[in-house]
Every structure is written in C-alpha cells, then in structure tokens.
Amino acid sequence: MKKIQILGTGCPKCKLLYAHAEAAVQALGIDAQLEKVEKITEIMKFGVMTTPALVIDGVVKSAGKVPSPEDIKLLLA
C-alpha cells in the first residue's frame, strides 16, 4: 500500500492537491492511504519550505506547486 501525504496548512492549493491525489489513486485503482499533514512542526520534518507538498512513501515528490492528476499518476507508477 502506498502512503501519500499532502503537506499544507489547509489553503485552497492544499485542498486542490489532495483532490488531485485522490483522483490519481482512483484512476490507477491502487491501494493507497491518503493523509493530510497540517501541523507546521510535522511539515518542517520533511524539510519543505513551500506548501503544498506531495510526499509518497516518505519521499517529497513535489513542493510549492499543484501537480495535475496525470503528473501524480506518473509519480505513483
């Protein structure tokens, strides 16, 4: 099972990234756990300075932008 984390304080871009990640997971039909990480102290542990950020299995894959569902599918494959 993939673990996907969306790092962000709940801004509109963070919510959009969560929706895109959800769409990518559904389109691929994979088993994944989606989690929002909203605490600044937790976000800082990843070394991320700009949100939103996308983390897959503990690795930061994107920060400071909102990748499309298609881009996220490529990162998950």
pLDDT on residue 77: 84
Instruction: Using a cut of 0.85, tell me whether the model's pTM lies above it.
Output: yes
- What would the pLDDT profile of 15-25 be if each residue is shown by its tens digit? 999 999 999 99
Active site residues: 11, 14
| Residue in the block written with tokens 């939103």 | 52
- Region 38-57 average pLDDT: 96
Expressed as residue numbers, the domain containing 24 is 2-76
CATH number at residue 63: 3.40.30.10
The tally of domains found in the chain comes to 1
Q: What percent of the chain has pLDDT over 70?
A: 100
